[in-house]
C-alpha cells in the first residue's frame, strides 16, 4: 500500500484518514472502492448535465451526493469543491458555476486509477 | 439490537453497516426515507436509527416528523447523520424530532459512543413503560386473582350495556358466588382459601371467550360479562361456568377440596333496564334464588322478579 509520504502531488486520497475510517479493513476498502466506481461516473455526468441546463436543484442534489461520496473516501480537496458547488446551487448562484465544475473535474481526474491502485494493493 | 441505516449513498451505508455489525448490531439498510419510515413502522421494527438528511422520496426530517406523530408506538431514537452541519441545520434537525446529530464524515468511535447513549435512553424508556404498565395493571386488577377488580369490571359492564343498547344486541351478566367458602377459610385457613380463589379465577377465565370479561366483585363473588351473547344461550353458558368449577376438586396444600359455585344470570335483552345498579340488584336476586334452592346451580333473573326480594339471607 502506498504510504502518504511517498505520494506525488497527484494523490487525491488521504489514505491514512481513509484507513482509519475503515479501521484498516482492506476487504471493506475494496468494497467501498467498487461502490464508488459504480456510482461516481453516473453522478459526475448528472452534475455536468445539470450545470449545463442550469437546473440548480439538480446541481445541489448531485453535488451533495458527490460531496458525501468523496468525503467518504477521504478525497478531501474534491469533497470541499463539491460542497462549494452545492452551496452555490442552494443560493442560486449561476455565475462561476462552470468554473467550479471544471475545478472539480480537474481534482477528480486520475482518481479512479488511483483508487484501482489502492484496491489492487489491498487485495489479500 | 436492531438498527436502521437510511442513506442514499451506498458507500455510507456499507461503511456504517460494517462498523455497526462489528459492534454487534443487527443492521437493516435502506436507500430512501420512505423505506426508512416503512421499517420503523413495523411492530418489531428497529428502535435505533441513523438517518441521512438528504434522501430521495422522503428526506430525513420528513422521517423524523412522521415517526414523532405516533406517540403510541415504542420510542425510536433517531440520529441524523448528514454533511449539513450549520447551527441552523442542527436546530432544524432536532426540532423535527431527531434525538442526536452527527456530521459526515463521522468518527467511528464517536458514532458508536453516541449509539450507546441512545441505547441507554431506550433502556430507560423501557423501564418507565414497564413501571407504568405494572402500575396500570395493579390499578385495574385484583391483587390475589389477577382478574379485573370491582371498579373496572363495573366500568366494563356499564360500557358493554351501552354498546349493547346501541347495537340492539344482548349482554349476559353472571354473578357467581362460591358455596360455603367461609367454611374453607375457617377449616383450612386463609392461605388455602386464597389458593381456591386463584384456581377458581383461572377456571373462570378458561371457561369464557377471550373477549368476555371476568372480575372479582367481592370476597368470593365474581362478575362475568359475556359480550354479544344470545339470551337463549345464557343458561347453557352459565352451566358451563358452573361445571368448570364443580367438575374437579381444587388441589390445595391441604389436599383436594370440592368447590361449587352458584350463579345468578341476567340477559339484557329480556329487560328494559339501563342502570348498572338495577342490573346488579336483579342478578343478585337470581343468585340468592340459586343459593336458596340448594346451591351449585344457576338461576336466570326474570323480569317479573323486578320488585321481589330474597326470602332469606343465605351464605
ipTM of the modeled complex: 0.79
pLDDT given for residue B269 in this prediction: 82
Distance from CA of B99 to the nearest CA of A (A): 22
Q: Would you kindly state where each structural domain of chain A is located, as residue ranges?
A: 12-122
Residues from chain B contacting residue A46 (CB–CB below 8 Å): none
Do B14 and A21 count as a contact with CB atoms less than 8 A apart?
no
Q: Which residue of A has its CA nearest to B83?
A: A68
Specify the CATH superfamily of domain B2-138. Response regulator (3.40.50.2300)
Residue B288 has pLDDT above 70, yes or no: yes
Q: Which residue of B has its CA nearest to A71?
A: B105
B76 Cβ neighbours under 8 A, 6+ residues apart: B40, B45, B46, B47, B48, B49, B67
Pick A12-122's CATH classification: 3.30.930.10, 1.20.120.160, 1.10.10.410, 1.20.950.20. Answer: 1.20.120.160
> Which candidate in A68, A69, A71 is best for mutational testing of the B interface (most B CBs within 10 A)?
A68
SS3 B32: coil
CATH class of B150-307: alpha beta
pLDDT given for residue B107 in this prediction: 85
Residue B49: is it exposed, middle or buried by C-beta count within 10 angstroms (0-12/13-18/19+)? buried
Q: Report, as an integer, the average pLDDT of B61-65.
A: 95
Q: Check the CA dihedral B129-B24-B53-B66 and report its sign.
A: negative
Contacts A–B by Cβ distance under 8 A: 49
Do B104 and A68 count as a contact with CB atoms less than 8 A apart?
yes
A38 Cβ neighbours under 8 A, 6+ residues apart: B10
Residue B244 has pLDDT above 70, yes or no: yes
Cα-flanking dihedrals φ and ψ of residue B32, to 5°?
Answer: -155, 170
Strand partners, B265: B174, B300
Note the pLDDT tens digit of each residue in A39-77: 999 999 999 999 999 999 999 999 999 998 998 888 999
Strand partners, B255: B252
- Please tell me which of the candidates A25, A38, A74 has its beta carbon nearest to residue B18: A25
Q: Which three cell numbers stand for residue B109?
A: 468511535
Q: Would you kindly state where each structural domain of chain B is located, as residue ranges?
A: 2-138, 150-307
pLDDT given for residue B282 in this prediction: 93
Query: Which residues of B participate in catalysis according to the annotation?
Result: 220
> How would residue B104 be classed by pLDDT, with cut points 50, 70 and 90?
confident
Q: Global pTM?
A: 0.69
Do B14 and A36 count as a contact with CB atoms less than 8 A apart?
no
- Cα distance between residue B25 and residue B3, in whole Å: 6
> Which candidate in B11, B60, B112 is best for mutational testing of the A interface (most A CBs within 10 A)?
B11
> Which candidate in B7, B15, B52, B111 is best for mutational testing of the A interface (most A CBs within 10 A)?
B15
Do B14 and A32 count as a contact with CB atoms less than 8 A apart?
yes
pLDDT given for residue B304 in this prediction: 60
Residue B309 has pLDDT above 90, yes or no: no
- Cα distance between residue B94 and residue B83, in whole Å: 15
> How would residue A124 be classed by pLDDT, with cut points 50, 70 and 90?
low
Residue B52 has pLDDT above 90, yes or no: yes
pLDDT given for residue A19 in this prediction: 87
Distance from CA of B68 to the nearest CA of A (A): 26
Amino acid at each position: 500500500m502506498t504510504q502518504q509520504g511517498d505520494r506525488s502531488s497527484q494523490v487525491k486520497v488521504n489514505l491514512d484518514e481513509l484507513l482509519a475510517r475503515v479501521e484498516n479493513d482492506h476487504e471493506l476498502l475494496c468494497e467501498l472502492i467498487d461502490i464508488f466506481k459504480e456510482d461516481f461516473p453516473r453522478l459526475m455526468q448528472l452534475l455536468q448535465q445539470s450545470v449545463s441546463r442550469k437546473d440548480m436543484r439538480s446541481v445541489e442534489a448531485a453535488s451533495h451526493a458527490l460531496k458525501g461520496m468523496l468525503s467518504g473516501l477521504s478525497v478531501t480537496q474534491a469533497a470541499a469543491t463539491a460542497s462549494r458547488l452545492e452551496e452555490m446551487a442552494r443560493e442560486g448562484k449561476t455565475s462561476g458555476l462552470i468554473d467550479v465544475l471544471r475545478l472539480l473535474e480537474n481534482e477528480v481526474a486520475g482518481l479512479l486509477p488511483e483508487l484501482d491502485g489502492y484496491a489492487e494493493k489491498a487485495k489479500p | 439490537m436492531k438498527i436502521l441505516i437510511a442513506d442514499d449513498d451506498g458507500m455510507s451505508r456499507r461503511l456504517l453497516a460494517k462498523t455497526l455489525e462489528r459492534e454487534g448490531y443487527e443492521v437493516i439498510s435502506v436507500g430512501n426515507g420512505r423505506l426508512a419510515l416503512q421499517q420503523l413502522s413495523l411492530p418489531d421494527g428497529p428502535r435505533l436509527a441513523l438517518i441521512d438528511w438528504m434522501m430521495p422520496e422522503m428526506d430525513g426530517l420528513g422521517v423524523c416528523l412522521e415517526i414523532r406523530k405516533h406517540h403510541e408506538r415504542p420510542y425510536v431514537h433517531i440520529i441524523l447523520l448528514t454533511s449539513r452541519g450549520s447551527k441552523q441545520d442542527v436546530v432544524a434537525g432536532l426540532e423535527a424530532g431527531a434525538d442526536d446529530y452527527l456530521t459526515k464524515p463521522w468518527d467511528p468511535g464517536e458514532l458508536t459512543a453516541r449509539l450507546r447513549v441512545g441505547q441507554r435512553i431506550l433502556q430507560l424508556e423501557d423501564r418507565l413503560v414497564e413501571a407504568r404498565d405494572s402500575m396500570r395493571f395493579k390499578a385495574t386488577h385484583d391483587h390475589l386473582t389477577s382478574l379485573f377488580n370491582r371498579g373496572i369490571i363495573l366500568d366494563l359492564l356499564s360500557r358493554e350495556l351501552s354498546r349493547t343498547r346501541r347495537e340492539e344486541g344482548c349482554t349476559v351478566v353472571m354473578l357467581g358466588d362460591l358455596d360455603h367458602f367461609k367454611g374453607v377459610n375457617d377449616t383450612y385457613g386463609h392461605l388455602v382459601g386464597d389458593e381456591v380463589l386463584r384456581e377458581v379465577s383461572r377456571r373462570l377465565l378458561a371457561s369464557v371467550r377471550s373477549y368476555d370479561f371476568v372480575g372479582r366483585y367481592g370476597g368470593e363473588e365474581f362478575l362475568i360479562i359475556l359480550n354479544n351473547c344470545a339470551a337463549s344461550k345464557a343458561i347453557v353458558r352459565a352451566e358451563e361456568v358452573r361445571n368448570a368449577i364443580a367438575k374437579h376438586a381444587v388441589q390445595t396444600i391441604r389436599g383436594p377440596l370440592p368447590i361449587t359455585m352458584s350463579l345468578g344470570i341476567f340477559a339484557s335483552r329480556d329487560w328494559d333496564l339501563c342502570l348498572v345498579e338495577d342490573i346488579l340488584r336483579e342478578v343478585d336476586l337470581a343468585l340468592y334464588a340459586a343459593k336458596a334452592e340448594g346451591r351449585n346451580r344457576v338461576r336466570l333473573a326474570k323480569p317479573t322478579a323486578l320488585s321481589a326480594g330474597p326470602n332469606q339471607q343465605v351464605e
